[in-house]
Structure 1
């Protein structure tokens, strides 16, 4: 079970890295890539699976998981809004994507 959880954590972090990397790649033109939204959604799904496995395996930190879930939902929502609006994405939505991703990573590491 420990190996499975570790593997899923690695995949979860790779998804967040891909989402942030595609945002950085598109930052100059503000033309979002579909990969950004899909990677953020993949990280969300993997996070939910990880939360379920950790709940089965031991005593999870419910506050941390709840905060991460809300922030991940915000990141996914903003990424899909940016994908739909294209180059006309408003600045709060565009800059909210990396902010939500970075906040999610900080919560994961520091809380």
Structure 2
């Protein structure tokens, strides 16, 4: 069971790397668009996060508030990324793009600093 938990955590981190990496590539290329790497990354994070939350809920000392906040942030990121990708927008508004980057940073901060 520990191997499954570690594998899920690894996949969750790879999803984060795809979301953040895709956002950083768009920022550095000054195109301000969302790409399929970000879409697949957030989908991976949502899927593995749901399973990880289920495994964590089985433990008596699970932090349900943190799990709930992370779920809301991940769903919000999913919507912010998926809609422009599905609508095949060449460019998103600068505020939307930078807000997505800030939300990526906040989500990572919640995961790291909220114990």
When the two structures are superposed, what TM-score results if normalisation uses the length of structure 1?
0.89
Q: How does 1:68-83 map to 2 (within 5 A)?
A: 68-83=70-85
2: CA distance between counterparts of 1:103 and 1:42?
A: 18
Answering whether residue 48 of structure 2 is matched by residue 46 of structure 1, we say: yes
Answering whether residue 113 of structure 2 is matched by residue 110 of structure 1, we say: yes
Greater share of helix = 1
Could you list the per-position Cα deviations for residues 35-80 of structure 1 after superposition, in whole angstroms to 9, with x for gaps in the alignment? 2112112101110110001112443100000000011111111111
Preserved CA contact (<8 Å) 1:75 1:101: yes
Preserved CA contact (<8 Å) 1:71 1:100: yes
Query: Relative to 1, partners in 2 of residues 1:81 and 1:96: Cα closer, same or farther, differing over 3 Å?
Result: farther
Q: Which residue of 1 aligns with 2:99?
A: 96
CA apart distance, 1:85:
5.3
Preserved CA contact (<8 Å) 1:75 1:96: no
Q: Which residue of 1 aligns with 2:5?
A: 5
How many aligned positions are there?
Answer: 111
Within the candidate set 30, 33, 43, 1:31 is matched to 33
Give unmatched runs, 5+ long, in structure 2.
none
**Moved runs in structure 1, 4+ residues, more than 4 A?**
none
